[in-house]
Chain A
Amino acid sequence: MSVLHTVNKSPFEKAAFESCLKHTGPGDAVLLIEDGVYAAVKGTAVADRIAGGNGAVSLYALGPDLAARGITESAVIETVKVVDYGGFVDLITEYDVSQAWL
């Protein structure tokens, strides 16, 4: 059983992103949506939390939310895969259960 975690908060405003990372297990995935996508950007104070990850957790960010916020895909950390809403749906079906870090 593996969990898809969603995070919709900026890591600079709320602890949801940090709390999420502390509660992931091997084989889990994290999908950044809404203001959560700011955590996917290269060169920020929290970028190490993603780039330095152990690789056991897959990372995704929602493309439409990145685009809306003026973040180009080239600004996104390489280990983060960008998906659209269809990809979001696929992730929900691929993982056994989802947990929203509101």
Chain B
Amino acid sequence: MKIGILVSEGPFTHQASDSAYQFVKAALEKGHEIFRVFFYNDGVNNGTRLTVPPQDERNIQSNWTELAEKHNLDLVVCIAAAQRRGILDENEAKRQGKDADNIAPGFRISGLGQLIETGIESDRLVVFGD
């Protein structure tokens, strides 16, 4: 089956992103296709490469990045939510006149239409939030 995922909380404060990650891994192991993982609300904070959690903790961002590389996942951060919260890619940083970007490898920034498309194209959409 084709499954879409919405993650609407950031890393660490809530379990939502961890739950989504475990769910996606299990779905892939069962041979399902993950159409897209869309990060919205504070969920966009999963997509910064600047997090430095303690060595003995999981690194949620790099977990996603590695999973995306391994399975060619489409990890999309909502542009409107990302701009509010300071998640930028190179183009956006330039466009907004900011001196740095912070998007993590494997993530891309795009519009909310990508969430609607996920709903249309996927057989199931699963929401992880708080």
Contact = CB atoms under 8 A, between A and B. Distances in A.
Interface residues of A, number: 18
Interface string A37-67: 0000000000000000000000000001000
Given A92-B124, A98-B126, A33 B19 contact: yes
Secondary structure call for the A interface: helix
B129 A89 contact: no
A102 B127 CA distance: 9
A34 B124 contact: no
A88 B26 CA distance: 9
Contacts of B12: none
Contacts of A85: 22-23, 25-26
Contacts, number: 50
Nearest to A9: B130
A88 B23 contact: yes
B68 interface: no
A102 to B, nearest CB: 4
Contact of B130 (A86, A92, A102): A102
B30 A34 contact: no
A33 B126 CA distance: 13
Contacts of A97: 124
A72 interface: no
Interface string B83-125: 0000000000000000000000000000000000000000111
10 contacts: A6-B127, A34-B16, A86-B26, A86-B29, A89-B3, A93-B123, A97-B124, A98-B126, A98-B127, A100-B129
Given A89-B27, A93-B3, A102-B8, 19 more contacts: A8-B16, A34-B15, A34-B19, A64-B22, A85-B22, A85-B23, A85-B25, A86-B29, A89-B23, A89-B30, A89-B32, A90-B30, A92-B27, A93-B123, A93-B124, A100-B126, A100-B129, A102-B127, A102-B129
